[in-house]
Amino acid sequence: MHELSIVSSIVDSVTQTLEAYPGARVKEVRLRIGALASVVEDSLQFCYGIATDGTPLEGSKLVVKILPVTMHCDSCASDVEIASLQSFRCPRCDAPVSDLRQGRELEIESIEIDEVEEKV
C-alpha cells in the first residue's frame, strides 16, 4: 500500500507550508490525481486519517479530484480523452496515440486553513 507513503509526503509538505502561519489549522487539502497514478482513493482516504493524527491536519478533509487520461492525437490534431485504459487509441479516428497530456498527476491543488488571530 503505497498510499500511506503518499499521504505521509502530503502531510510533510503541508506541515512545512504551515510554518509561515503559526497556530493555523488545516480545514481541507485538495489533490489532483491522474487516472494513471495508480492510487486507490479509498486507501488514500483511510491513510490520511491515520497520518494526520496529532498534526495540524488532524480533522481536516481530503478532497480528491481524479483526472482522466488525455492524449494528443496527431491524426486529429487535437487532445482527446481516452475512454479505456486498455486501449490507447483515439476515440475519434481510432489512430494509436502516445503523446500523454494528462493522467499521471499527483499534486496538491490547494490547502484551506483557519488562521489563529493574534491576541492584542
- Separation of alpha carbons 76 and 90, rounded Å: 8
Question: Do residues 6 and 44 touch, judged by C-beta distance below 8 A?
Answer: yes
Q: What are phi and psi of 45, to 5 degrees?
A: -60, -45
Degrees to nearest 5, angle at CA 12 with 10 and 7: 30
Q: Give me the domain span that covers residue 27.
A: 1-68+103-120
Count of the separate structural domains present in the chain: 2
Cα dist from 92 to 34, 80, 89, 119, whole Å: 22, 8, 9, 61
- The model carries a pTM of 0.84
User: Is 82 or 1 the better-scoring residue by pLDDT?
Assistant: 82
Residues 82, 25: one domain?
no
- Separation of alpha carbons 47 and 107, rounded Å: 17
Give the tens place of pLDDT for each residue, 30-59: 999 999 999 999 999 999 999 999 999 999
Helix (H, G, I), strand (E, B) or coil at 56: coil
pLDDT of residue 96: 94
Question: Do residues 115 and 24 touch, judged by C-beta distance below 8 A?
Answer: yes
Residues 97, 115: one domain?
no
DSSP 89: B
Residues 53, 91: one domain?
no
**pLDDT band of 107, cuts 50, 70, 90:** very high
